[in-house]
Amino acid sequence: MNRKRNTTLKELAKELGLSISTVSRALNDHPDISTETKESVKILAAQMHYVPNMFAKGFRSQKTNIIGVIVSNITHLFTSTILKSILEEAEIRGYRVIISESNNNEAKQSEMLTTMSQFGVDGVLMSLARKTTYVDDALRILNRMPLVLFDKVSSKIPCTQIVINEEEAAFNAVEHLIGLGKKRIAIMKETENSYNSEKRYAGYLRALNQYGLPVDEKIILSTEDISLVQGKRLANILLSMKNRPDAIFAITDNAAIGAIKALNKFKIKIPEEIAVVGFSNSINSTIISPTLTTVDQPGDKIGRTAVKYLIEEIENPKNDLLTKTVEIKTNLVVRDSSFKA
């Protein structure tokens, strides 16, 4: 079949008996052009369904109005919520978005950065792949365009970073458990020292210290992949102890839900015998029984803030490299898994 080509400035110009320059200016509301000319040009443009070719435009002006976004896994609700707000906020500000997934693969992530650069995006938003150690590509990108990190960040990359108040959020969660009278609070965290896991662990320790509770290594559990299955497994370990904990703080909802499933199986009363608190406020936290107390991370706000800072840097390139860290406040959502009946 024969595809129609898009209408071009040239065709409009020919049709109107004007020059391409004039048509271009008329469409862009240049003050030099007379109102009547503008009028007639716009009418014909609408009639012929003229849409400017953004490639030509961006190519010419060295500005594409495209933002590149790199995340590890788009199917995580937290991630897709952030993406949704990025799409919305970017669109409001006149930018389009190209999304890539690294799948937590560092090599892939580097490759995506290169691709972004090929496409001449005006800036990049990125949440780092787990265990990212090689940051040279990110640094090279940073030399060419603004880069803003969010959620999974790294101090090795001197750029604006948008995070939640991880430490404080964890502190609040544990403090809440202490407020319920819990004295032996286990934690389920990640083995490797991801930014997020480390901060949450720090908040846990601070809460115990501040309220004079002993820190017991035996109930500080770590796992590589902090998933539902691992939550179950770790909960079973806790249940097998003579000196069981009376509360569990899991640094992800999935692990917390796995723990609840394990506790339910053994008919442990939640929260009376063991209270459980998660982190993320995923949908599942309202589906599980009992419903899960958890930290709500405002993905929406994270996305919008990241876009705001990135576009600010794109449009005001005068600023020097700034390593600003922006903390977004979270909220503890108390539900049945920790509610003192």
Partner DNA sequence: CTGAAAGCGCTTACAG
Nearer to DNA, 64 or 81 (CB): 64
Distance CA 198, CA 223 (A): 13
118 is a site residue for a copy of itself (CB under 8 A): yes
Q: Which two tokens stand for residue 13?
A: 């110009």
**Contacting a copy of itself within 76-95 (CB under 8 A):** 77, 80-81, 83-84, 87-88, 91
Residues ≥6 apart with Cβ < 8 Å to 241 = 218, 219
Task: Tell me the window of 38-46, 117-125, 196-204, 229-237 that interacts with a copy of itself (CB under 8 A).
Answer: 117-125
Distance CA 91, CA 175 (A): 40
Q: What is the DSSP string of 252-315?
A: SHHHHHHHHHHHHHTT--TTTT-EEE-SB--THHHHSSSPPBEEEP-HHHHHHHHHHHHHHHHH
Nearer to DNA, 2 or 133 (CB): 2
* Residue 88 interaction partner, one of a copy of itself, DNA, none, beta carbon < 5-8 Å per kind: a copy of itself
Of 72, 71, 63, 67, whose CA–CA distance to 87 is shortest?
67
Q: Where are the beta strands (DSSP E) in 1-159?
A: 66-71, 96-101, 123-126, 147-150
144 is a site residue for a copy of itself (CB under 8 A): yes
Distance CA 55, CA 260 (A): 53
Residues ≥6 apart with Cβ < 8 Å to 237 = 221
User: Any bridge partners for residue 295, and if so which?
Assistant: 332
Out of 16, 98, 135, 205, the residue judged to bind a copy of itself by CB under 8 A: 98
Task: Tell me the window of 10-18, 131-139, 186-194, 254-262 that interacts with DNA (CB under 7 A).
Answer: 10-18
**Contacting a copy of itself within 13-72 (CB under 8 A):** 49, 51-56, 58-59, 64, 66
Q: Which residues bind DNA (CB under 7 A)?
A: 5, 8-10, 17-22, 24-25, 27-28, 30, 32-35, 37, 52-53, 56-57, 59-62
Residues that bind a copy of itself (CB under 8 A): 1, 3-6, 49, 51-56, 58-59, 64, 66, 73-75, 77, 80-81, 83-84, 87-88, 91, 96-101, 114-115, 117-120, 140, 143-145, 257, 264, 283-284, 287-289, 317-321
